Amino acid sequence: MAVEEQEVKALASLMTFKCAVVDVPFGGAKGGIRIDPAKYTERELQLITSEYASQLIRYKFLSPALDVPAPDMGTGPREMAWIVHQYKSMNPEDINFSGCVTGKPVSQGGIRGRSAATGLGVFFCVREALIDGATLKKVGLSAGTHGKTVVVQGFGNVGSHAAQFCHTDGKMKVVAIGERDGAILNPEGLDVPALIKHFNQHKTFKGFAGGEFRPGDSKWVLEEKCDVLIPAAMENVLNQGNAARVKAKIVVEAANGPTTAAATDIIEANGAIIVPDLLANAGGVTVSYFEWLKNLQHVRFGRMTRRAEEAKWRSVLEVLNPHNVSAEKLAALSEGADEQKLVFSGLEDTMVQSFADIRALAANKSINLRTAAYVLAITKVASYYRELGIFS
């Protein structure tokens, strides 16, 4: 509902640089419809989305070769499926029609793992920050994720998945989570999978037995003491008014632009590290790229190799240990990678390498991670155009 032209332009620029940072060969664009989805029926939303897509298609602003939208705030797989349907109806001869958007349902050409991708990318950034010696020395933390405390602001698709991966894969203690109608706290750590189940059923933290629910404005969770703060909701939530009260040692920006320039200066002056949104929430566009590749290749990832891998590893294991491995263990060890495993593996490689590149540049130039991310992105974009001979 708050979408406006300057915001869209800024986000489009951000998207250009974000793609460059993670070596995704997309350009950068953003768009939106200025409505509150909660005030419309599903049928009305479908008509609005289809008309929006129709205008983009008619003026050649949307196709697998021109612009490939993905879901953002207020949208999801359902809306992406509507856009694909509209594109196909207007371009029946395009066999690559499913590549006109990403974030689709799997049944409509989507890719397994896409819904969790941004949150998982955030977790990879948290993990990399907590194994980097220079970062740990600056903030005074021991290496590793185990037992570290986390606060998350925003429990939508990104925040909930980031919290879940921190809890399950990182063995971290998620001590507070803020949402629109209140926050939930537990100093001993929330049971995130149980909380997700409760929230999906009730659309609120209220009534969850595993923590203290505090109704009302939950932005105060940004000021809770923790090792890692993950703002995963709106832009500008960390600003000059509250930055001095931020107690986190590492801030990982899961939302777009959650920290203002003034707040960045204050938070970093107080000794904290900020992992910028340019990298931290790039998991979504990375896996969108994988989905686009899948759509153009017209084959599911792993379909051509999974069984061959299983047969190969089963043969190797049988030769190395023919008697001491049970049939169940043998099957688990020799299991070939399916689409989701391949997607998550590719995402991990992308985030780890990009984080390393930014960290090295920051150290070499004595700049913060945000500046390093922009320097890296702009350098890549400039190199591309220089190689085309557009810039001397």
Are 141 and 249 spatial neighbours (Cβ–Cβ below 8 Å)? Answer: yes
Task: Give me the catalytic one of 18, 30, 148, 173.
Answer: 30
Taking the C-alpha atoms of residue 195 and residue 204, their distance in angstroms, rounded to an integer, is 10
Token digits of residue 126: 């948290």
- Provide the 10 A C-beta neighbour count for residue 145: 20
Question: Which of 218, 22, 245 minimizes the C-alpha distance to 124?
Answer: 22
Compute the radius of gyration of the chain from its Cα atoms: 22
Are 30 and 69 spatial neighbours (Cβ–Cβ below 8 Å)? Answer: no
Taking the C-alpha atoms of residue 171 and residue 164, their distance in angstroms, rounded to an integer, is 10
Q: Any idea what DSSP says for residue 257?
A: S
**Is residue 131 packed enough to be buried (19+ CB in 10 Å), middle (13-18) or exposed (0-12)?**
exposed
Cβ neighbours for 183, distance < 8 A, ≥ 6 positions apart:
176, 177, 205, 213, 214, 218, 220, 221
Relative orientation angle of helices 42-58 and 77-90, to the nearest 10 degrees: 50
148 is catalytic: no
The DSSP string of 172-203 is -EEEEEEETTEEEE-TT---HHHHHHHHHHHS
Cβ neighbours for 321, distance < 8 A, ≥ 6 positions apart:
none
Are 366 and 37 spatial neighbours (Cβ–Cβ below 8 Å)? Answer: no
Handedness of CA 311, 313, 318, 319 (dihedral sign): positive
Taking the C-alpha atoms of residue 244 and residue 228, their distance in angstroms, rounded to an integer, is 16
User: Could you tell me whether strands 228-231 and 273-275 are parallel, antiparallel, or unpaired per DSSP bridges?
Assistant: unpaired
Q: Which residues are catalytic?
A: 30
